[in-house]
């Protein structure tokens, strides 16, 4: 039996591309409309899920951070994929006819300069490839979508322009999530913590890493649902949770915070997929 991989988006999504580059073509890929659906699928039988976590231009994918806090899943790996966007439409449609462009909000933001020059209406959709599929089925006149050339090929659509992202160094980082932890030791760890309501609480939390010489690589805050102006802090850092210095830092962090959850220790993405 092939392994099952749930991914965010429709067939042809960048998330599916990242998943296929990691797990190969023989795996069974399950498209999911919402990021929360990917987590549900893994909890209910899929062996892995692949979700976007951060884009180098548009920043964090906040829905993924919220699901990491809510679900009892582990981050078991990360993937970094080079993102090159295409303007895609139904066959027979010409570039001067385009008045509306659909895509994921992050993808629209990544192509902002190109779209501003076109002077078109931009309409957010739940997924890049999903917007291509929708245009094929609805045949909205004067409309285009932003997605990958692979999505255009899958749905038999026309590519009007390639490489329309504002910055060519456009990368998205993805997390692989699973019910079980990786067997191999990792070299990177992600956690989430909440703070005590005391002066200097954030300083004390971060000092737990500094004094144990653990290198922080990323920090992101998210509001705590139902507690206005209270935040969770998501942190990535070098090292495995079993490393002596990391274990010591986590011990000190627990003393300085209200709660700490280790989301996973995993192998850092080596290189960027094109």
DSSP per-residue codes, 45-62: T-SEEEEEEEETTTEE-H
Alpha carbon distance 248, 254 (integer Å):
10
Contact 54, 172 (CB under 8 A): yes
Asked if 7 contacts 19 with a C-beta cutoff of 8 angstroms, the reply is yes
Catalytic center residues: 172, 174
Rounded CA-CA distance 77/189 in Å is 10
User: How buried is residue 264: exposed, middle or buried, by Cβ count under 10 Å (0-12/13-18/19+)?
Assistant: buried
DSSP 125: -
């Amino acid at each position: 039996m092939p392994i099952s991989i749930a991914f965010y988006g429709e067939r042809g999504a960048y998330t599916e591309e990242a998943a296929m580059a990691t797990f190969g073509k023989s795996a069974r890929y399950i498209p999911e409309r919402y990021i929360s659906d990917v987590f549900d699928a893994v909890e209910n039988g899929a062996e892995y899920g692949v979700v976007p976590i951060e884009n180098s231009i548009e920043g964090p994918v906040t829905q993924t951070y919220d699901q990491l806090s809510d679900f009892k899943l582990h981050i078991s790996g990360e993937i970094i994929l080079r993102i090159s966007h295409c303007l895609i439409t139904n066959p027979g449609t010409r570039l001067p006819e385009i008045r509306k462009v659909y895509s994921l909000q992050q993808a629209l933001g990544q192509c902002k300069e190109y779209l501003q020059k076109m002077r078109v209406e931009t309409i957010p959709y739940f997924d890049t490839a999903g917007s291509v599929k929708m245009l094929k089925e609805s045949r909205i006149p004067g409309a285009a979508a932003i997605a990958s050339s692979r999505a255009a090929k899958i749905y038999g659509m026309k590519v009007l322009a390639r490489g329309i992202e504002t910055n060519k160094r456009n990368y998205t980082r993805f997390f692989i999530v699973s019910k079980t932890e990786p067997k191999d030791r990792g070299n990177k760890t992600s956690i989430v913590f909440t703070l005590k309501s005391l002066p200097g609480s954030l300083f004390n939390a971060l000092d737990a890493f500094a004094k144990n010489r653990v290198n922080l690589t990323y920090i992101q805050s998210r509001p705590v649902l139902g507690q206005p102006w209270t935040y969770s802090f998501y942190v990535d850092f070098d090292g495995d949770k079993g490393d002596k210095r990391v274990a010591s830092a986590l011990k000190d962090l627990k003393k300085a915070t209200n709660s700490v959850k280790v989301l996973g220790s995993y192998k850092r993405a080596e290189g960027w997929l094109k």
